Amino acid sequence: MKGMSKWLVLLLLWGSLAQAENKPRVEAAFMDFPGYSELDDSGRATGKAVELLRKLLDEAGYTARIRILPAARIWLGLENGDVHLWPGVLNKPGLDEHTLLTERDLGAVGINLYYLPDRPAPIWPQGLRGKSVILITNFTYTTGLKNTLLDPQLELTIHKSNSHKGAVNMLLRGRGDYLLDYRAQVDVVLQEVPGVELADMEVAVHPMRLVLSRHSGFAEQLRADLDAAFDRLQVQGVELDVTRQ
């Protein structure tokens, strides 16, 4: 009986390995996000979101190469098929026709308006009239937020920063009245600067999903496999909300 159990385990292991070998390798990409997706000292992608994706892909029977890339390279990769998968919020104009979304959410991504705590909370968006807002270069905001920022009646002045830390510093130094940024990104920056606080108000919330390139050649199958893997892991009690603290 013991010998039979051993052979059964080996057979199941061989079956899962064979399944993975028959599936294409997934080219996955993340943006640099300390604690969630970053490179360790050896140059390997690591972090909370990276490990969750590895779990999902392994459960779905796929091997993967996971890279940390700039936003512009991820957009281009999704458009030409060099990047098969990116976990994020699809709100960049023009990407819809090149991508599919998984059905399952990996959490909710909040976008906040930040300001110095000694200032009164503005009325959104009318209270921003004639003020300056700091944005992150190459980061995507929702269509609704973009339309608000471009509203000529608000007469906004837009400043940009290449990093979330730089944007927070700009706000602290008075180089902008407000900062519009992702909550999770700013939380990481503030954790690194003890004693610094910012007031904020939530202006948008969007579900985070796996964005798949239609040009990979197997996007439909990959979506079905990942959604099924998500459901199996959820039944097992695995935490699948990457945005939960």
Q: Are residues 91 and 136 in the same domain?
A: no
Q: Are residues 90 and 52 in the same domain?
A: yes
Q: Are residues 115 and 90 in the same domain?
A: no
DSSP for 105-140?
---EEEEEEEE-TTSPPPPTTGGGTT-EEEEETT--
Domains of the chain: total: 2
- Taking only the tens place, the pLDDT of each residue in 83-102 is 999 998 877 778 889 999 99
127 part of a folded domain: yes
Here the CATH number for the domain that contains residue 181 is: 3.40.190.10
- Taking only the tens place, the pLDDT of each residue in 209-240 is 999 999 999 999 999 999 999 999 999 999 99
Q: Are residues 96 and 42 in the same domain?
A: yes
- Taking only the tens place, the pLDDT of each residue in 185-214 is 899 899 888 888 999 999 999 889 999 999
Q: In the predicted model, is pLDDT for residue 6 greater than 80? A: no
* Range name among 29-33, 131-135, 220-224 with the lowest pLDDT average: 29-33
Q: In the predicted model, is pLDDT for residue 9 greater than 50? A: no
Q: Are residues 124 and 170 in the same domain?
A: yes
Q: In the predicted model, is pLDDT for residue 166 greater than 70? A: yes
User: In percent, how much of the chain has pLDDT > 90?
Assistant: 69
pLDDT for the residue 18: 46
pLDDT for the residue 193: 81
CA distance 69 to 29: 6
Q: In the predicted model, is pLDDT for residue 152 greater than 90? A: yes
pLDDT for the residue 42: 94
Q: Give the mean pLDDT of the chain.
A: 89
Q: Are residues 78 and 141 in the same domain?
A: no
Helices marked H in 24-99: 48-60, 71-80
Q: Are residues 75 and 193 in the same domain?
A: no
pLDDT for the residue 21: 59
**Rounded to whole angstroms, what are the CA distances from 16 to 23, 60, 149?**
11, 10, 50
Contact, 139 vs 71, CB < 8 A? yes
Q: Helix %, strand %, coil % for the chain, to 5?
A: 40, 25, 35
Residue 164: domain span? 108-206
Q: Quick one: pLDDT band at residue 1, thresholds 50, 70, 90?
A: very low
Q: What angle do CA 122, 155, 197 make, to 5 degrees?
A: 35
The CA-based diameter of the chain, rounded to the nearest angstrom, is 79
pLDDT for the residue 7: 52
Q: Are residues 136 and 162 in the same domain?
A: yes
Q: Quick one: pLDDT band at residue 5, thresholds 50, 70, 90?
A: low
Q: Quick one: pLDDT band at residue 25, thresholds 50, 70, 90?
A: very high
Contact, 202 vs 110, CB < 8 A? yes
155 part of a folded domain: yes
Query: 3-class DSSP state for residue 236?
Result: coil
64 part of a folded domain: yes
